[in-house]
């Protein structure tokens, strides 16, 4: 690697406290100097700015780990095909990024820093371009999927049945991103709630997020007969290949979708001793109990534990109940473990399960946000870099290899 990663990290630390202003400057510079590029981005740029700083933080964190960086950039490059990103766009992005970094670095910006960032971005861009170019010919940038049915499972949650126009090549446990013409260029991640089906249909569980553009549309507005776009499958929270180890799974909220897909795949593979905790805020939020009961009834190897406090209980109470249930489970030594739910679920439960003798190499979940620097108190300018729920961020940008 020709540049010094330490120089890039130190430079990023200078500007991270002004992340909000930096990203606004970046997009203003990009759109002003490159007419037509703005059409590739969503209309509501506040979310896109958060996406940018999250991706930058992830890149900086991986600069000194070439293996992780390579996998991350490959996934990012393949996924950016759906944004219609072309090789000619990367120099413009690089120029605007350098301009923004320079503007907010002040006297900390030196020729050495500029050279390091220029070389780093060149490597990043080329890796993404190469990954996109390596996608097999004929692979769609996205799949058009007809909405066959929309079922309201709770007031804020809908179950969508989709029919992609081409076979969709995913593995149970992976996730995909969804977009709608109702909000062009807005993509959000969802896990299919099924293993691959012979008829190529997919099931998605979508909960409305407060002020969420796409989730609100999918829950409240989208109707059968509409067409959505699906990005390529992503993620590695799939069943361990050829494993006969017992399984412990935790599904919280719509995290049940991913776990349901894994259970369907497991059943096709013959099954193995499996315990799944299905957690919710209260009984009313156990929105897919019929499917849980059907799976348990059909498979003797499966045991389900329903975890939900009384109606009106706090989120903290629901989490405490789940933690207590897992603690009562006992040792997790020698188990494959899958965690799926809100962004803060996996890190918290993984720490507890490690205390219950889980092997860290056998715990699987989708990527979660990583705080770049949590040693300083939170200020309005650096809130981007603190760990929090940002449900709409593409999980690829949070570290999927």
Handedness of CA 340, 346, 348, 349 (dihedral sign): positive
Query: For residue 307, what are the β-bridge partners?
Result: 279
Q: Where are the domains of the chain?
A: 5-137, 143-230, 247-365
Work out whether strand 227-230 and strand 176-180 pair parallel, antiparallel, or are unpaired.
antiparallel
Q: Which residues contact 30 (CB under 8 A, 6 or more apart)?
A: 37, 92, 93, 96
Work out whether strand 202-207 and strand 227-230 pair parallel, antiparallel, or are unpaired.
unpaired
The sheet carrying 336-340 orders its strands as 302-307, 274-279, 247-252, 336-340, 363-364
Q: Is the pTM of this model over 0.85?
A: no
Q: From the options 3.40.50.300, 3.20.20.10, 2.40.30.10, 2.60.120.10, give the CATH code of 143-230.
A: 2.40.30.10
* Digitized pLDDT (tens) for each residue of the chain, 401 residues in all: 577 888 998 999 899 888 888 989 999 999 999 998 988 887 777 767 777 777 788 788 788 787 778 888 888 899 889 888 899 999 999 999 999 999 999 999 999 999 999 999 999 999 999 999 999 988 899 999 999 999 999 999 999 999 999 999 999 999 999 999 999 888 999 999 999 999 999 999 999 998 888 999 999 999 999 999 999 998 999 999 999 999 999 999 999 999 999 999 999 999 999 999 999 988 888 999 999 999 999 999 999 999 999 888 888 999 999 999 999 999 999 999 999 998 888 999 999 999 999 999 999 999 765 443 434 434 444 444 444 443 334 444 444 33
- Residue 260 belongs to what H/E stretch? helix 256-268
Q: Rounded distance, CA 236 to CA 134, Å? A: 20
Q: Where in 34-75 does DSSP place strands (E)?
A: none
Q: Which two structure tokens, joined as six digits, stand for 7?
A: 């120089």
Q: Where in 12-156 does DSSP place strands (E)?
A: 143-154
Query: For residue 204, what are the β-bridge partners?
Result: 160, 192
Architecture of the 5-137 domain: Orthogonal Bundle (1.10)
Q: Rounded distance, CA 26 to CA 278, Å? A: 43
Half-sphere CA count of 217, side-chain side, radius 13 A: 16
- Helix locations, 269-314, DSSP H: 289-298
Roughly what angle, to the nearest 10 degrees, separates helices 111-133 and 89-105?
Answer: 150
Q: Rounded distance, CA 176 to CA 261, Å? A: 13
Q: Rounded distance, CA 12 to CA 15, Å? A: 5
For the range 97-102, what are the long-range contacts, defined as Cβ-Cβ under 8 Å and sequence gap of 24 or more? 97/26, 97/121, 99/25, 99/26, 99/29, 100/22, 100/23, 100/25, 100/26, 100/29, 101/11, 101/15, 101/22
Q: Rounded distance, CA 330 to CA 332, Å? A: 7
Work out whether strand 176-180 and strand 183-190 pair parallel, antiparallel, or are unpaired.
antiparallel
As assigned by CATH, the class of the 247-365 domain is alpha beta
Under 8 Å between Cβ of 277 and 307: yes
Half-sphere CA count of 261, side-chain side, radius 13 A: 29
DSSP 231: P
Q: Rounded distance, CA 22 to CA 102, Å? A: 10
């Amino acid at each position: 690697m020709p540049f010094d990663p330490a120089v890039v990290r130190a430079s990023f630390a200078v500007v991270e406290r002004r992340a909000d202003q930096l990203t606004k400057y970046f997009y203003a510079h990009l759109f002003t100097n490159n007419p037509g590029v703005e059409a590739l981005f969503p209309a509501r740029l506040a979310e896109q700015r958060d996406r940018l700083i999250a991706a930058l933080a992830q890149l900086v964190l991986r600069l000194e780990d070439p293996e992780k960086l390579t996998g991350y950039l490959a996934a990012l490059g393949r996924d950016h095909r759906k944004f219609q990103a072309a090789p000619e766009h990367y120099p413009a992005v690089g120029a605007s990024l350098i301009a923004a970094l320079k503007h907010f670095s002040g006297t900390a910006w030196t020729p050495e820093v500029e050279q390091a960032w220029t070389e780093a971005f060149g490597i990043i861009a080329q890796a993404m371009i190469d990954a996109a170019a390596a996608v097999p010919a004929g692979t769609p940038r996205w799949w058009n999927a007809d909405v066959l049915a929309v079922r309201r499972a709770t007031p804020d949650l809908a179950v969508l049945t989709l029919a992609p126009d081409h076979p969709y090549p995913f593995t149970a446990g992976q996730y995909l991103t969804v977009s709608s013409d109702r909000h062009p260029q807005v993509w959000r991640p969802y896990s299919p709630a099924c293993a691959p089906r012979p008829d190529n249909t997919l099931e998605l569980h979508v909960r409305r997020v407060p002020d969420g553009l796409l989730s609100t549309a999918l829950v409240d507005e989208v109707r059968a007969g509409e067409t959505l776009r699906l990005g390529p499958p992503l993620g590695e929270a799939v069943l361990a290949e050829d494993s006969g180890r017992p399984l412990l799974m935790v599904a919280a909220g719509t995290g049940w979708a991913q776990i349901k897909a894994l259970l369907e795949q497991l059943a096709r593979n013959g099954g193995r001793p499996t315990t799944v905790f299905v957690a919710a805020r209260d009984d009313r939020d156990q929105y897919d109990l019929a499917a849980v009961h059907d799976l348990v009834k059909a498979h003797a190897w499966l045991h389900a534990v329903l975890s939900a406090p009384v109606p009106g209980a706090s989120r903290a109470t629901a989490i405490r109940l789940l933690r207590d249930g897992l603690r009562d489970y006992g040792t997790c030594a020698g188990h494959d473990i899958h965690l799926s739910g809100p962004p803060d679920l996996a890190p918290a439960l993984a720490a507890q399960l490690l205390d219950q003798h889980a092997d860290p190499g056998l715990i699987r979940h989708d990527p979660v946000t990583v705080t770049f620097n949590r040693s300083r108190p939170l200020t309005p300018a650096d809130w981007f870099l603190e760990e929090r729920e940002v449900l709409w961020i593409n999980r690829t940008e949070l570290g999927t290899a």
